[in-house]
Amino acid sequence: MILVTGGAGYIGSHTVKYLLDEGFEVIAADNLIYGHQKAIDNRAKFVLADLMDMKSLKNLFDNNKIDAVIHFAAFAYVGESVENPEKYYYNNVVGTLNLLQAMLQHNVKKIVFSSTCATYGEPQYTPIDENHPQSPINPYGRTKLMIEQIFADYEKAYGLKHIALRYFNAAGCSNDGRIGESHTPETHLIPLVLQTINGKRDKIKIFGTDYDTPDGTCIRDYIHVEDLASAHCLALHKLDEYSGCINLGTGIGTSVKEIITAAEEVSGKSCPVEIAPRRAGDPARLYADNRKAKELLGWHPKYTNIKEIIRTAWNWEQNKKY
Ligand code: UDP
C-alpha cells in the first residue's frame, strides 16, 4: 500500500491515478486546504489528514499497512513564502518531520519526495544538472532543500531510503480530461494564459521582455504532469537500491512568448497581453539536464512538444470539473 500525502493536489492527484493504473493500492491523504476531493480517483482510499496533527498521522499508520510514502503535501506559493515564511517553515518542514516520525515509528523507511528546481536558486549554468550548487533564493525553496538534507541525515542514522525529485515547471492535465490543474489563487503561466483566452481574464501580463534570451522573455522547462507521475512510480521501484536526488524536466526550454503563441495556436483564439515589469526572483533561463532520470530510472517523457502539453491543459480549461 502506497501513502500519497497531498493526494488531492495537482501533481499528487495525477500520481494517485497513475499508481492505480499500474496496479498499486493507494491511500491519498490530504487536508483539503488547497486540494480537491474530486481530484482523487475513486479507486483510492481517501483519508482527511493533516501533517501538523500527529494524532491523525498516527491513526493513518496504525490503521493501514503502508509500504512506502510519496510526499507531495506542502505549501507552494513562492511569493507567499516570502511574505509569511513561518507558514512555510512550519507546514513544509515540521509537517515532513512529523511524517518521518510516524513512518519510523511504524518501520516505514521508503519515501519519494516532491522537491523542486527552486532548490538551485539563480542558475550558474544551464542545463541544470543534479550537481549544480543548491542556493535557493526564497523560503519555499529553502524548505525543500532543508527536507532533502533531513533525508540524508535520516538515511545515515535510521536507514531511510529516499528519492527527491526536483521538478521543473509542472504543466498540462490528465489526457482523459478527468483531472487537472486548479489552484486558487492561480499564479502559473499556462493556466493563466488559457483562462485569458477563454475570456475569464482580461489579459496576461508578461513579466519582463528585457531578459537576455532570444525573444527577451523568460525560458522555462515545462514538463507534463503525467510524465511527473510516471517518474514517481519508477522512483518507488528504485528505492531499494538508490537514495538521492533526480531532476525531472524535458530538457527543452520554452519562452513566455512561445507559450502564448502555442496556446493561441492550440485554441485558435488570440490572447491579449500586457508587457509588465520583471517579477522579483525570476531567472532568465531554467531548464533541466535530465540524463540522470533517463539513465537511472529508465524514464522517458511522453510529452516533448509544448503544444501537446498545452492541448491537454486547454481541454481541461474548457471542461473543468473542480
Ligand atoms: N509569467 C508571466 N506572467 C504571469 C505568470 C508567469 O510572464 O502571469 C512568467 C514568469 O515570469 C516565468 C514563467 O512565466 O518566467 C513561468 O512562471 P510560473 O509562475 O508559471 O512558474 P515558475 O517558473 O515561477 O515556477
Which pLDDT does position 195 carry in this prediction? Answer: 98
Half-sphere exposure of 119 (CA within 13 A, CB side): 24
8 Å CB contact between 257 and 206? yes
- CB of 220 within 6 A of ligand 1: the answer is yes
Read off the pLDDT of residues 195-234 as tens digits, 9 standing for 90 and up: 999 999 999 999 999 999 999 999 999 999 999 999 999 9
Q: Would you tell me how many other CB atoms lie within 10 Å of the CB of residue 155? A: 15
- CB of 201 within 6 A of ligand 1: the answer is no
**Kind plus residue range of the DSSP H or E element containing 233:** helix 225-238
- CB of 284 within 6 A of ligand 1: the answer is no
Which pLDDT does position 321 carry in this prediction? Answer: 92
Closest listed residue to residue 295, CA positions, set 252, 234, 243, 254: 234
Read off the pLDDT of residues 152-202 as tens digits, 9 standing for 90 and up: 999 999 999 999 999 999 999 999 999 999 999 999 999 999 999 999 999
Which pLDDT does position 127 carry in this prediction? Answer: 98
- CB of 170 within 6 A of ligand 1: the answer is no
Question: Which residue is closest in CA terms to ligand 1's atom 16?
Answer: 189
Rounded to an integer, what distance in angstroms lies between the CA atom of residue 185 and that of residue 163? 30
8 Å CB contact between 266 and 314? yes
As given in the structure block, the three cell numbers for residue 13 are: 492527484
Cα 150 to middle of ligand 1, angstroms: 29
Catalytic site positions: 140
Q: Would you tell me how many other CB atoms lie within 10 Å of the CB of residue 200? A: 12
Rounded to an integer, what distance in angstroms lies between the CA atom of residue 199 and that of residue 187? 17
Rounded to an integer, what distance in angstroms lies between the CA atom of residue 46 and that of residue 53? 17
